[in-house]
Amino acid sequence: MLQNTSCVHCGQTETTEHILLHCSFARHVWNLIPLASTIDLNDFPSLVSAVGAATSWTCLPPCGITGNIFSWVVWNLWITRNLLLFEARPASAQVTVSKALVRARE
Ligand SMILES: [Zn+2]
């Protein structure tokens, strides 16, 4: 178990919602995802509420992703967090987005 529950990106208390939705790093990642409509992450106090809403989030056609992008973004936010925390390997928001988009296309 980890005793330090501070976010590796910003130092705030780490919660699921913080890591995946509300951290400044997560917000930067979400802002870079080419969604067809604008989302306000403040509308989602819990991950469950975001999961429900995300079923209608679609990517702009040029990116070639027709399925739901939500799971790919949160998965890559988690991977980026773990690489930084456990291996001291930082990744930018742009790299995190790129990996999410590539994996979603695959
Ligand atoms: Zn944070």
| Nearest C-alpha neighbor of 44 from the set 18, 64, 66, 68 | 18
Q: How far is the CA of 6 from the centre of ligand 1 (A)?
A: 8
Q: What is the gyration radius of the CA atoms in the chain, in angstroms?
A: 14
Q: How far is the CA of 69 from the centre of ligand 1 (A)?
A: 21
Q: How far is the CA of 13 from the centre of ligand 1 (A)?
A: 7
Residue 49 clears pLDDT 70, i.e. is over it = yes
30 pLDDT band (50/70/90 cuts)?
very high
Q: How far is the CA of 70 from the centre of ligand 1 (A)?
A: 19
Q: How far is the CA of 56 from the centre of ligand 1 (A)?
A: 26
Report pLDDT for 32.
Answer: 96
Residue 69 clears pLDDT 60, i.e. is over it = yes
How far apart are alpha carbons 69 and 103 in whole angstroms?
10
Least confident residue range of 25-29, 63-67, 81-85:
63-67
Report pLDDT for 1.
Answer: 56
How far apart are alpha carbons 12 and 2 in whole angstroms?
15
Q: How far is the CA of 66 from the centre of ligand 1 (A)?
A: 29
Report pLDDT for 65.
Answer: 86
Q: What is the mean pLDDT of the chain?
A: 94
Report pLDDT for 47.
Answer: 95
**CB contact at 8 A, 70 and 90:** no
User: Which residues have C-beta within 8 Å of that of residue 51, sequence separation ≥ 6?
Assistant: 70
Task: State the CB neighbour count (10 A cutoff) for residue 101.
Answer: 21
Mean pLDDT score, 12-29: 97
